[in-house]
Structures are given as structure tokens and as C-alpha cells.
Amino acid sequence: MSRQVEIRELYRQRPRSRFLRWSSAALAVLAIASWFSGELGTDDLFSARRLANLERFVGELVPYPLQGEAFDAGVAFRWARDLMAEKGWAAAGKTLALSVAAIVLAAFGALVLAPAAARTFASPEPYLPGPRPPGPLRRTSWKAVVWGGRALLILFRSMPEYVLAFLLLAMLGPTAWPVVLALAIHNSGILGKLTAEIVENLDPKPMAALRGLGARRPQIVVFGLYPLVFPRFLLFFFYRWETCVREATVLGMLGVVSLGYWIVDARARNHYDEMFALILVGAAIVVLGDLVSILTRELVRRFG
């Protein structure tokens, strides 16, 4: 076989997929069509009126005591310190607390729902064959459990947190619950799906051993699945916590006193300097959360 033929053979064997190509092409066509749809008003953004608006806005981003003055680091520092003392620190703490409460609840939800959505566990005879093959009724009912569990998880994660919080707020009134629950529901959908995938990929032998010793389903879950799932679950837990921090900042806009609340409040009062500073505080919290999450995930990877 000549070199040419060999190369052609390799070329033919390269990994490729018609599905991926068509999908990418479809997305590209959709993107181009969206720009030509006439909905976006691309030329309008740089009209003279908007640019004048922008110039005024940029001027107002400077802390109020410094507007039209020479820059003075002392004045700027005192302004920032007062802003933080008045609302910044408390709001930052609440934002963090929202994300922590939400992710802990989401973890509970995910750990309860995941076994039901895992095909290996939610079957008539999990991990070991029973004395008799299961009848058609038992097989279909366990299939129904899996599909029900999956449908619930998909429904949970397809709802944006903001919409959920908006709807819950009307029912539960202005406590922190609507935001916590909205974040928890959305993230238990995501964590639950990921955990169910971990459960399905587990080595079945430990669970088979437990079942062989006479363990019932709840015991298999608590003493078999949870300990085995734990390290990888923690990775996903912290990865989702990162996004919870981001979302918690924003969900404050609905009225819970997190950073988002003070940001829209400052905007409503046209205090753009304050709005900008608080957005920066939000960014700092997100960066901090990312760092903590990266660090813990590395620890889990190393020792878990």
C-alpha cells in the first residue's frame, strides 16, 4: 500500500458526523437570518441622540463628589467606604447567603430525585436478577418511574430562575423564599440530571453485593449510591454554586435585598455612580466565588 493510499484511508476514517455538520450549518443560517430580520435595529444604536446619552452617562459613572472635580483618591475612598457601609456589605452577604441556601436545597432535591431517574437503579430488579423475571406490569411501572423522574428534572431545568422567582414572589410574598426556591428548583433539575448520569455509570458490583445481603432500596441508596456518587457530586455542586452566586446577584432585582435590589434602586434614582460601583461589587463576589469553587474542586479531585 503506497503512502498516498494510506493517507487517503486515514482521511476517510477521521471522526466526523453529518448530524453535527447539519446542526452547525442550521445554527449559522439562523444566526445570519437573525441579523437580517430587521428586529435588531443595528444602525439605531449609534444615532446622535444615543451617543449624546452615552456621553452624559459615562460622565455620571464617576462618584458623585468627584463629578466635575479633580480626582482625589481620598474622596473616592471615603465615598466607596460609605456606600459599602450603608448597603454594600450587607447586600453582598445576603447575595452569598441566597446562593448557599439555594444550592444546599438544590443538592437535597437532586439527591432525592436522581435515583428515580437512573435506569440502573429504578428497575424492577436493581443490580441483581430476582428469583423470577419481573412481570410486564412491574416492568412498565418502573419505566414510568424513570420517565416521570426525568420529565420532572427536565421541567425544572427548562424554567429560567428569573421567571420562577417572579411567579413564586406573587404567591409567597416578599421574603427571601421565592428567590431561594427558584434557584433551588432550577439547579436541582440540573444537578439531578448530572447525578442520575453518574449513578448510571457507576460500577454495579457494590450495589449488587448490598442487594445480595438483603438490603432494600433505601438502604442501597444511602449505603451504596450516595457514598460512591459523593466526590463527583461535589464537583458538580461547586460548579453550580458558581452560577448560583451570579444569579443571586441578579434575582435581587425582584425585591429581595441582595445586590440586584440596590442596583435597580440606584438606577431608578438615576444614581449611576452608585449603580456602577455596586455592579463592580457583584463582579467581585462572582470572581471570589469562582476562586473558592475552583480551589475546592481541585481539592476534591486530588483527595476525593
Partner 1 sequence: MWLPSLASVWSESAWLRAWRSGIGWRGLVIGALAVAGLWAAVVLDLDPRDLVPGPGGLAQGKEFLSRAFKPALTYEADFVPEGTQPLPFKVLKAVRTTVIFAAAAISLAVLGGLILGSLASTAWWFEDPAGGSTRLRRVFLRSVAPVVYGGTRVLISLMRSVHELLWAVLFLAAFGLSNFAAVIAIAIPYTGTLAKVFAEILDESPREAAAALRAAGASPAQVFLFGLLPQALPDISAYAFYRFECALRSSAVLGFFGYPTLGYYLAASFENLHFGEVWTYLYALIALVLVVDWWSGALRRRFVA
Binding of partner 1 at residue 246 (CB under 8 A)? yes
Q: Cα–Cα distance between 54 and 181 in angstroms, integer?
A: 38
Residue 74 CB, shortest distance to partner 1, in Å, is 26
Binding of partner 1 at residue 263 (CB under 8 A)? yes
Nearer to partner 1, 126 or 248 (CB): 248
Binding of partner 1 at residue 53 (CB under 8 A)? yes
List the one residue from 113, 249, 274, 297 that touches partner 1 (CB under 8 A).
Answer: 249
Closest CA to 157 of 196, 120, 122: 196
Binding segment for partner 1 (CB under 8 A), chosen from 70-78, 129-137, 139-147, 270-278, is: 270-278
Report the site for partner 1 in 104-123 (rule: CB under 8 A): 104, 107
Residue 224 CB, shortest distance to partner 1, in Å, is 14
Q: What is the C-alpha radius of gyration for the chain, rounded to an integer number of angstroms?
A: 27
Binding of partner 1 at residue 158 (CB under 8 A)? yes
Q: Cα–Cα distance between 182 and 270 in angstroms, integer?
A: 29
Q: How far is CA 55 from CA 34, 146, 204, 278, in A?
A: 29, 57, 64, 21
Residue keyed to cell 430580520 = 37
Residue 173 CB, shortest distance to partner 1, in Å, is 6
- For partner 1 (CB under 8 A), the number of binding residues is 76
Nearer to partner 1, 126 or 202 (CB): 202
Q: Cα–Cα distance between 13 and 6 in angstroms, integer?
A: 11
> Phi and psi (nearest 5°) for 214?
100, 15
Report the site for partner 1 in 275-304 (rule: CB under 8 A): 275-276, 279, 282-284, 286-287, 290, 303-304
Report the site for partner 1 in 183-212 (rule: CB under 8 A): none
Binding segment for partner 1 (CB under 8 A), chosen from 1-9, 76-84, 125-133, 166-174, is: 166-174
Residue 227 CB, shortest distance to partner 1, in Å, is 7
Q: Crossing angle for the helix pair 177-200 and 161-172, nearest 10 degrees? A: 130
Binding of partner 1 at residue 98 (CB under 8 A)? yes
The answer to whether the CB of 267 falls within 8 A of the CB of 60 is no
The answer to whether the CB of 65 falls within 8 A of the CB of 75 is yes
Binding of partner 1 at residue 59 (CB under 8 A)? no
Report the site for partner 1 in 212-231 (rule: CB under 8 A): 227, 230
Q: Cα–Cα distance between 96 and 247 in angstroms, integer?
A: 10
Burial string for 92-126 (b: 16+ CB within 10 Å, else e) reads: bebbbebbebbbebbbebbbebbbbbbebbbbeeb
List the one residue from 160, 201, 269, 298 that touches partner 1 (CB under 8 A).
Answer: 160
Nearer to partner 1, 10 or 137 (CB): 10
Residue 204 CB, shortest distance to partner 1, in Å, is 20
Binding of partner 1 at residue 94 (CB under 8 A)? yes
Report the site for partner 1 in 18-47 (rule: CB under 8 A): 19-20, 23-24, 27-28, 30-35, 37, 39-42, 44-45
The answer to whether the CB of 243 falls within 8 A of the CB of 190 is no
Binding of partner 1 at residue 163 (CB under 8 A)? yes
**What does DSSP assign to residue 118?**
-
